[in-house]
Structure 1
Amino acid sequence: MMERTSLCLLIVLTHCSFSEAVTVSTTRHKVEVREFSEAELSCIFQTETDHNPRIEWKKKGKDVSFVYYDGHFRGPFEGRASIQGATVTLRRVTQGDAGEYRCEISAPLDTISLGETNVTLRVLVPPHIPSCEIPSAAVTGSVVQLRCSDHMSIPPASYSWYKDNQLLPHPRSANATYMMNQHTGVLEFKAVAKEDTGQYRCLASNGVGTPQMCKGNHMKIEDINLVAIVATVVVVCLLVLVCGCGGFLHRNGITSRRPYRSFWISQCHGAAHISSQNLHRTEDTSNVNYNPPPQEPQDFKHTQSFML
C-alpha cells in the first residue's frame, strides 16, 4: 500500500514539473535611441506544449493599435520593421514611434494560454539652434533679461551663456550682479552697468548629439542722459508757465484786446513747438502784430528861389 501511494505521488510531482504555462519576458523594459536610428524591442517567450503560438505587438495610446498582427506589420511600421522570434526591430524611428508597446503571446494548447510584457520606447532628439532674445541696448541701473530656448530637444536642453566668447560662470552667491537659470535659459541682470556691454550668445546641450549655439547679439549699456532730461523738464515748465500766465491775464480782462490775446496764443504755440522739436530753435511767432516804424521824412530841398 505504501509503495502504491509513493508511486502515485511521484507521478503527480513529475507531471506538475512539466506543466509550466506560457511565459513572456524582455531584456529591456525601457529603450532609448536617437531619432532616425534603429530600436530593438525584445520579447522572449516559452510555452508549455504549444510550439506555434500567436505573436502580436500592440502600441498603447488613446486607442490600442496593432504593430504586428497575423504575421504582418501594420500601419506606419509596414516596410520599416522586422521580427525575429518575437523580438521586433524598428528602423528610422521618429517621435511618432515613441510610446509604450506590448508583446502578447497566445498559446491555446497551454494551461495558461496568454502571456505579455511591456517595453517603453523613448526617442532622443539632439539640440537644435536655440532661439535667443538679447536686447541691443539698455541704460545703466535697469533690470535686463536675456532669454534662450530650444523646444525641440529630448530630453530638454540645459543652457549656458557666453559673453565675448567667454563662458559666464554660474553665480554662486546672492551678491552676484546677475542670475542664471540653466533650465529655463534666462540670464537676468539685476542692475546692468557699462561693464556688461558685450557680445552675448547662448549654448543649448542635452547630452544627445552636438550642442548648438545661437548667433547672438551685441548689447550696449549707456548712461542716462541727465542733460536731456533736465532740458525737457525746463521746457515743459516754461510751457505751463506761459500758458498759465496767458489764462490768468485773460481772466482778469488784461488780454481782452485782440493784439494781446493773439500775442499770448502765439507764445503758447511757440513754446509747444519748441518742446516737440527737442529744444531746437523755431521761428519766432510773437511778431504777428509787429508794425514797422514810420519812415524818416526826406531832407528839405529848395524848390523855389526867394527874391529879397
Structure 2
Amino acid sequence: MAMLRRPVQLGYLAAVCCNFALVLSLRTDNANVEATEYDEAILSCVYSVRKDSKHRLEWKKIEKGSGDVSFVYYDGEIVGALKGRADMIDSSIRIKNVTRRDSATYRCEVSVSTKYVEEVEIDLTVFVLPATPVCDVPSNAMTGTVVELKCRESEGFPASQYEWYKNGVRLESQAQNAKPSRSYTINVKTGTLEFNTVAKTDTGLYHCEAYNNIGRSQKCNGKKMQIDDLNVGGIIAAVVVVSLVIALCGLGVFHAQKRGYFSRGHTSQKTHSVYKSAPSTENDFKHTKSFVI
C-alpha cells in the first residue's frame, strides 16, 4: 500500500504546478529600455491567464537612489506624472515623450485573486543632449602668466565632455596629442583649458563645445583673449614717480617742523597775544567809582 501512495502524491504535486502555470505567466520583451529625451519609449509587459480567472494589472515606478514607489497604472487608468503623456498597448505602457524625470525602474504586477502574483521589472534610462555651455574667457592677460579658461554645462546625461577651439580650429587635448602641448592642457571632463605660461601667439578667439554619446550642444559665444607683453618701462616710471612724491612730502614735513609750525610754544604765544586785554585808564576808574557812590 505504501508503494501505491507515492505515485499519487507526485501526481498531485505535478497537477498543482501545471495548474499554476495555466493560471498565470508573465514576461517582458526588453528589461533595459534606453531612450533620448522627448522620444517614445515602450515598457513591455506580456502576460496570460486562464480565461475563467479574475486578475488585476498594476504598474509601479521605483525611483533610483531613493527607492520611493508610486503608482503609474492603477484601477484601469494611467495615473501620476505619466497621465496625459502615456497610454496602454494591451498590458504594456507607451510613453509618448519621455523626460529625464522618467528615468526609473518600473514594475509590472499581475495578480490572480489573492493566491498568485507575478511581477517583472524594466529599467528605463533617458539620455539628455547637452545644453549650450557657458564659457569663461579672460579678455586680457600678461605674457608668462598662468591663465585658465572654463567651460561648463549641467544638462547632459551621460555627463558631457568638452572641446576647445581657437579661431575656429579645434585644440587637441593631451589624450589626443601624442606630444604634450608646449603651452596648454585641456581637461575634457571638467572643461578647463589651462595655459602654463601664455605668449602673445595665444591671442585669439576662443569657444568650447560640450558633447556626449547622444550628440553635441551648440557652441558658446566666442570671446577674444588678448595677450600683451609686460610693460617693464612703465612699471619703473611709476615706481620713480611714487618715490619722488613720497620724498617731496617728507621734505615738506621736515621744513615745517624746522620752522616751528608743529611747536606747542609757538601756538600758545600767538593765542596769548591775541586775547590780552587793554589796561584801564585812571579817568575810567574814577568815573566808575563816582557812579557807584
After TM superposition, the score normalised by the length of structure 2 is 0.77
Per mean C-alpha deviation after superposition, the further-off stretch among 14-23 and 187-196 is 14-23
2:240 — aligned with what?
A: 234
Partners of 2:133 and 2:217 within 8 A in 1:
no
Distance 2:16 2:247 in 1: 110
Distance 1:69 1:139 in 2: 66
1:89 — aligned with what?
A: 94
2:211 — aligned with what?
A: 205
Distance 1:120 1:72 in 2: 21
Unaligned runs of 5+ in 2: 263-293
Change in CA separation of 1:114 and 1:28 when aligned onto 2, cut-off 3 Å:
same
Distance 2:52 2:161 in 1: 52
Distance 1:199 1:245 in 2: 52
In structure 2, the residue corresponding to 1:213 is in which secondary structure? coil
Give the 5 Å matches for 1:128-277. Answer: 128-171=131-174, 176-251=182-257, 253=258, 255-256=259-260
2:278 — aligned with what?
A: none
Distance 1:59 1:10 in 2: 41
1:67 — aligned with what?
A: 72
Q: Say how many residue pairs are matched.
A: 254
1:118 — aligned with what?
A: 121
CA deviation vs aligned residue, 1:129-151 (integer Å, no higher than 9, x gap): 21111111111011111111111
Unaligned runs of 5+ in 1: 259-308
Partners of 1:50 and 1:107 within 8 A in 2:
no
Distance 1:257 1:12 in 2: 124
Partners of 1:103 and 1:116 within 8 A in 2:
yes
Which amino acid in the other structure matches residue 12 of structure 1? Y
Distance 2:116 2:6 in 1: 32
Displacement of 1:186 after TM fit? 0.6
Distance 1:11 1:257 in 2: 126
1:304 — aligned with what?
A: none
* Aligned residues with identical type, % of pairs: 39
Change in CA separation of 1:9 and 1:196 when aligned onto 2, cut-off 3 Å:
same
Give the 5 Å matches for 1:95-106. Answer: 95-106=100-111
Partners of 2:137 and 2:150 within 8 A in 1:
yes
In structure 1, the residue corresponding to 2:256 is in which secondary structure? helix
Change in CA separation of 1:74 and 1:257 when aligned onto 2, cut-off 3 Å:
closer
Change in CA separation of 1:257 and 1:106 when aligned onto 2, cut-off 3 Å:
closer
Distance 1:204 1:175 in 2: 21
Distance 2:2 2:118 in 1: 40
2:8 — aligned with what?
A: 8
Which amino acid in the other structure matches residue 83 of structure 1? M
Displacement of 1:173 after TM fit? 5.9
Per mean C-alpha deviation after superposition, the further-off stretch among 123-132 and 172-181 is 172-181
1:277 — aligned with what?
A: none
Change in CA separation of 1:136 and 1:20 when aligned onto 2, cut-off 3 Å:
same
Distance 1:64 1:13 in 2: 36
In structure 2, the residue corresponding to 1:20 is in which secondary structure? helix
Distance 1:14 1:101 in 2: 33
Change in CA separation of 1:8 and 1:230 when aligned onto 2, cut-off 3 Å:
same
Which amino acid in the other structure matches residue 214 of structure 1? C
Distance 1:50 1:229 in 2: 96
Which amino acid in the other structure matches residue 20 of structure 1? F
CA deviation vs aligned residue, 1:98-153 (integer Å, no higher than 9, x gap): 222221111126xx522222222222221222111111111101111111111111
Aligned Cα root-mean-square deviation (Å): 2.7
Displacement of 1:81 after TM fit? 1.7
Change in CA separation of 1:198 and 1:84 when aligned onto 2, cut-off 3 Å:
same
Change in CA separation of 1:104 and 1:257 when aligned onto 2, cut-off 3 Å:
closer
Displacement of 1:76 after TM fit? 3.3
Distance 1:5 1:156 in 2: 66
In structure 2, the residue corresponding to 1:104 is in which secondary structure? strand
